[in-house]
Amino acid sequence: MTNRTAFITGASRGIGRACALALAEAGYRVAVAARNAKLLDELAAEIRAAGHEAYAVTINMADAASIKETFAKTAKEFGPVSILVNNAGITRDGLALRMKKEDWDEVIGTNLTGSFLAIQQVLQHMLRDRWGRIINISSVVGEMGNPGQANYVASKAGIIGLTKAIAQEMGSRNITVNAVAPGFIETDMTQGLSQELKDNMIGHVALKRIGRAEDVAAAVRFLASEEAGYITGHVLNVNGGLYM
């Protein structure tokens, strides 16, 4: 058991929710953050029912003031954050030729800038503690590209660059910074896809199946652990062999 606090953004569903459950199971106290208070409260109740500590807090990753306030509130009421999982992300798909600037700004602002601002909020404590784990959720498309997602792909590729830069800045203080790049995972984001599109995607996956949120959470749980203490600046692909 540990008394370390893990903070997960975008925790109300999908990969973020699975990460929160996995980290709670691993013995961390988990702060779950997203926009949907009802879903967060349900998740926190589920974690507590399993005998673990949880704290639900709303956050708007597109708003710098909200990010600052939420982390300050969490540190005060639940404890300083030792493990940050930057998972929150949105899509506003469209071909580059017709993409509106606000769709570009919104995705970069939430996915990339939001992740950076969240990292800034936790570094002070990690530096003092000389221990920290920052795990940024990127995407397979950040490595291989994807048509119709210039904004999302740029944000996820940016997260990889951000991961490597902060890993170099923080390495001497025993703070590891890594990225997890999920492939085709069964979540609300992929549920709306047609069966034809899903079958086509699965055709490109070496393991011939869609991944589960739990597959990604297992990678996050490992990178948060003591066992992963000599891994930093790394991108861990959880994509079933979609991209190698």
Residues with a catalytic annotation lie at 152
- Residues 44, 30: Cα–Cα separation, whole Å: 9
Bridge-based pairing of strands 81-86 and 54-58 is: unpaired
3-class SS string, the chain:
CCCCEEEEECCCCHHHHHHHHHHHHCCCEEEEEECCHHHHHHHHHHHHHCCCCEEEEECCCCCHHHHHHHHHHHHHHCCCEEEEEECCCCCCCECHHHCCHHHHHHHHHHHHHHHHHHHHHHHHHHHHHCCEEEEEECCCHHHHCCCCEHHHHHHHHHHHHHHHHHHHHHHHHCEEEEEEEECCECCHHHHCCCHHHHHHHHHCCCCCCCECHHHHHHHHHHHHCHHHCCCCCCEEEECCCCCC
Q: Residue 72: exposed, middle, or buried by beta-carbon count in 10 A (0-12, 13-18, 19+)? A: exposed
Cβ-based neighbour number of residue 68 at 10 Å? 14
Structure tokens at 139: 């995407």
